[in-house]
């Protein structure tokens, strides 16, 4: 269910790293737990984020949750399609539902995040 080429955080964000760039979104598990996503607060392009720093929120019919950046870097692009169609996160969390693109401060930091098998064990351990 969770793509093997991604890394995962305990806050249920995923990141795909290619060279010094990362694409970040929320996991299938996160969007399923949230329910129908109705709003995503996106960060400003150019914002520098620290690892584990809150950068926005995701709002569903059930709850509002904070979004955290799993690695440090600079926001180079945000998915503006989510402004008008936040439900894309529910429909395609690992594809068109990406949230931001990041120029990583240290690409090796992503190696400290969970791989798909570890993440699946993590969510299974949370009683789901």
Q: What is the pLDDT of residue 127?
A: 65
DSSP type of residue 114 = B
Q: What is the pLDDT of residue 18?
A: 94
**Domain containing residue 111:** 7-125
Q: What is the pLDDT of residue 58?
A: 97
Q: Is residue 67, in this structure, part of any structural domain at all?
A: yes
Task: Look at the chain and report how many structural domains it folds into.
Answer: 1
Q: Report strand pairing: 100-104 vs 73-78.
A: antiparallel
d(CA 15, CA 12): 10
Angle, alpha carbons 4-9-95 (nearest 5°):
50
Q: What is the pLDDT of residue 126?
A: 79
Token output for 6: 């991604």
Q: Is residue 1, in this structure, part of any structural domain at all?
A: no
List 105's β-bridge partners, or say none: none
Q: What is the pLDDT of residue 17?
A: 96
- The per-residue pLDDT string of the chain (128 residues; one tens digit each, 9 = 90 and over) reads 799 999 999 999 999 999 999 999 999 999 999 999 999 999 999 999 999 999 999 999 999 999 999 999 999 999 999 999 999 999 999 999 999 999 999 999 999 999 999 999 999 997 65
Which CATH number is 32's domain given?
2.40.50.100
């Amino acid at each position: 269910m969770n793509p093997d080429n991604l890394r995962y955080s305990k806050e249920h964000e995923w990141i795909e790293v290619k060279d010094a760039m990362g694409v970040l979104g929320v996991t299938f598990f996160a969007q399923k737990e949230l329910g129908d996503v109705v709003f995503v607060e996106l960060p400003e392009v150019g914002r520098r984020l620290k690892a584990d720093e809150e950068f926005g929120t995701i709002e569903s019919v059930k709850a509002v949750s904070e979004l955290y950046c799993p690695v440090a870097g600079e926001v180079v692009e945000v998915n503006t399609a989510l402004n008008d169609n936040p439900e894309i996160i529910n429909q395609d969390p690992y594809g068109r539902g990406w949230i931001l693109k990041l120029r990583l401060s240290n690409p090796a930091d992503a190696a400290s995040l969970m791989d798909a098998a570890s993440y699946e064990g993590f969510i299974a351990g949370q009683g789901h």
